Structure 1
Amino acid sequence: MLMEFVDSSVVEQIEIKMIRPSQFAIRDKFQKNDPEFETLVNSIREHGLLQPILIRPLTLGFEIVAGHRRFNACKNLRWRYVPAKIRELTDKQAYEIQLTENIQRKAMDPLEEAEAFRRYIVDFGWGGMTELAKKIGKSEEYVSHHMQLLKLPDDIKERIANRSLNVSQAIEIAQIPQEKQSLIVEHIMNNKLTVRQIRELKSVLHDDGNGADDMACVASPRARGPIIAKKTYLTLKIALNRLDNLINEVHNTVEPDQRAEIIGFLMGVRLKVHSLIDDSIRFKNNSMKK
């Protein structure tokens, strides 16, 4: 017979000065001028604190486990006491509760999540990706992919933080060699590439193998010609890849009596694109010599 979980916590009015923030705080960013925080303050002022904060007892006083924003809102209202649920928890349990709450509330950006995962696994050594994924209700792939974001250079991380680059795009970038990341992110931003298009571009870069040429182009501020030539080459390679996908699609979906004409047309286009690729390679090589 399975035993049911028994919540042994109690709810008490605890003096605010006896409560301190968590030593394992998941989020470092807290701004009192945040409009959402002001809305929370006004809601608590009008309706009271509908959900007590969660705290755990320490040798001296208590530590917040969940409800930092609610606690700060009550403090902002100059409350002396705050309703709190008190529960005995280990450091690991307290961290897991904080992390799960913030993920469910979507309160963290992707880099904050990644850093929280890294601390759990690497700094504190509380478990691997599999265990952490189970604790927070996410897949192991989700945890692994987010942690890869931490390996990205600072300029790309900044784009993630200001939301000019979404997490799906960033994860794709994190999976290519570092020497090509800065070049590819510029191409993605300028051309507004989807995740599928980024994967096609990655395939092209893998086949091309000209990372050294790319870095030479980026290194010289005067060498815009080679950069444009490289972008042209990549764009044409992507177009060739898509044409091949279309040809395969025709083979699988079009009736035989129409198939020959369509494939003939696509093969003609493919031949022209191939010729343009050859031209772009020649132009790129000439530009690199100048």
Structure 2
Amino acid sequence: MSEIDLRRIKPNRLNPRSSFDKEKIDEISKSIKKFGLLEPIIIRKKNDYYEVVVGERRYRAAKQAGLDKIPAIIKQFSDKEVIELNLIENIEREDLTDIEKGKCCTKLMEDYSTDYPTIFSMGEKLGFGTTTIHRWISAFREISPEIQKYVATADERGRTPIGKIASREALIIAKTVKEPSKQLELVKEVAEKKITRDDVIKITKKVQQDKNKSIKELVEEVEQEPAELIFRLSHMKPILDGIKIQTSRKSLDPKIREGAIIRANLWQPAFADLIVKKIEKKKLGDFTEEDAKREGGYTLEEFKEVWKNLHGNWDPNETVNTIIFKIKKKKNIEMIV
């Protein structure tokens, strides 16, 4: 490790990140001023200067903090290795948007086609699924530069920053709404109102079906529709018979709140309208026999098996949303039964 003059270091020209979070840079800069830079960056020699390979945010924060020198590890990397390293490092931290990941993958396939002739070979070498890589590349190629400005990564709770939209929602819009002006208008609405992915899909379908209505009108139509909860076919009868009056979910549509009317669906059509009586967050480990009974007439042990069948495992420390409801209206279910 060496102490390198910051004036001799330049940013990584191959970094897939299109922008840096100023708030995050400010936080790191404050920490550096107080404690110094605790973790060295990794750089490589380029002619008469050095180039950042790993740690560009720390490099930028150190400059902002007014440091003259910075601890750095000097290693030799080819351009291909730098791209691979940046892609893997940032994906593991989930820092990059799908667009930025797609940019990396596209460059590897275009500039290093011998090593990465196909998406499958890329997945094998880098350890990612081909479906995932295909989604990244599609996001980079199909989402216009104008819309890319509104795309950001979500936090650990799945929330994007104010005024931003997730890559998947942006890709749905790019694939289904053909007019660029309508694409941009819808992206702005989604970013401002934090519209869910399911509702984005509904809106894009309406855009295709009704060419005469404005984006704002179509968004308002979907916003006014009741929220939906999807149930298994085996749960339909217990719900209609009043035995199942509770459902627990890992995530919750913002429309689902106490007093709201929600639509109980298998997929299509809906079999009942429900009124939400109560919503509370609860750890799975705190579930009681009474909870299990409300979930469909189960014992607690039976409900644990149902949960594991649906979600893979039963983690007593996992917090879920429990929704207690009652029937408002039963639908015509002859076609379902």
What's the offset of the Cα at 1:28?
4.1
Contact 2:18 2:100 (C-alpha < 8 Å) held by counterparts: no
Q: Distance in 1 between matches of 2:217 and 2:4?
A: 64
Count of residues in Structure 1 that have an aligned counterpart in Structure 2: 235
Q: Distance in 2 between matches of 1:198 and 1:28?
A: 25
Q: Percent identity?
A: 20
What's the offset of the Cα at 1:178?
3.0
Matching of residue 76 in structure 1 with residue 64 in structure 2: yes
Change (3 A) 1:40 1:152: closer
What's the offset of the Cα at 1:93?
0.6
Gaps of 5+ in 2: 153-161, 242-270, 273-329
Which residue identity lines up with residue 56 of structure 1 in the other structure? R
Contact 1:114 1:146 (C-alpha < 8 Å) held by counterparts: yes
Q: Which has the higher helix share?
A: 1
Q: Distance in 2 between matches of 1:79 and 1:64?
A: 16
Matching of residue 17 in structure 1 with residue 7 in structure 2: yes
Tell me which residue corresponds to 2:233.
249
Counterparts of 1:21-170 in structure 2 under 5 Å? 21-30=11-20, 34-122=22-110, 125=113, 127=116, 128-134=118-124, 137-150=127-140, 151-153=142-144, 156-161=147-152, 163-170=163-170
Deviations 1:29-68 (A, max 9, x none): 347xx23222212222332222111112233332211111
Which residue identity lines up with residue 267 of structure 1 in the other structure? N
Which residue identity lines up with residue 167 of structure 2 in the other structure? V
Higher relative contact order structure (alpha carbons within 8 Å, sequence separation ≥ 6): 1
Tell me which residue corresponds to 2:256.
none
More displaced, 188-197 or 14-23?
188-197
Deviations 1:176-197 (A, max 9, x none): 36359947948x9499764455
Q: Distance in 2 between matches of 1:29 and 1:63?
A: 18
Aligned residues: CA RMSD: 4.7
TM-score, structure 1 as length reference: 0.58
Contact 1:148 1:174 (C-alpha < 8 Å) held by counterparts: no
Change (3 A) 1:91 1:268: closer
SS in 1 for 2:32: helix
What's the offset of the Cα at 1:91?
0.8
Q: Distance in 2 between matches of 1:229 and 1:175?
A: 18
Q: Distance in 2 between matches of 1:69 and 1:89?
A: 19
Which residue identity lines up with residue 166 of structure 1 in the other structure? A
SS in 2 for 1:65: strand
Deviations 1:223-251 (A, max 9, x none): x6xx969997x99xx99xx8xx88x926x
